Amino acid sequence: MSSLWKSQVEMVSGRELTLHLTSVHPDSGAPSDSPLFALRLLVDGRERAAGDASVRGRDDVPGAAEDIIESVTMSDLQNFPFAEHAEKQRIEDGLRARGLDSHDEAAWQAAFQDAWRDLWSDASRLPNARLEIRVYDPSWTAGLSAGDHWESAAHG
């Protein structure tokens, strides 16, 4: 599955972890404050950033999220909902303003793809939020440090 989110650890202390989430795909939807979403992010972080494969699959165990995640608080939600159609229209309008002709399909598509890539590389224009996660057991935040980052297909 493709990545939906870029997660970056802003703070970790004992049982608490603050993540800054940025969408990396238009299908990401809004982030969630559900324990399952938080657990999926933590599993990916522990595997990818901390190199701990022992947590693999824990997010698929029924009831695990409620046993591991004490609370999740979402804040600083920005650029939601992501207006994909409006962004595509804005890009197309910009291409026309530059004098590109949509009938020149190869040039139009190349220019559109460049502009779309530029959009998705500008975090200030993308959906993002802050997630504060509190776990019952501090071993779930072990190995993660401020500045660690990873991509995740977390949903839920």
Per-residue model confidence (pLDDT) at position 113:
93
Assessment of whether the complete model's pTM goes beyond 0.75: yes
CA atoms within 13 A on the CB side of 76: 12
What strands lie across the sheet with 5-13, from one edge to the other? 69-78, 128-135, 16-23, 5-13, 149-152
Cα 48 to Cα 26: distance, rounded to the nearest angstrom:
22
User: Per-residue pLDDT for 121 more than 90?
Assistant: no
Please state whether the peptide bond connecting residue 81 to the residue before it is cis, i.e. omega within 30 degrees of 0. yes
Give the tens place of pLDDT for each residue, 84-105: 888 899 999 999 999 988 899 9
Cα 77 to Cα 98: distance, rounded to the nearest angstrom:
33
- What mean pLDDT value characterizes the chain? 92
Give the tens place of pLDDT for each residue, 27-58: 888 899 999 999 999 999 999 888 898 999 99
Give the tens place of pLDDT for each residue, 67-83: 999 999 999 998 888 88
User: Per-residue pLDDT for 1 more than 80?
Assistant: no
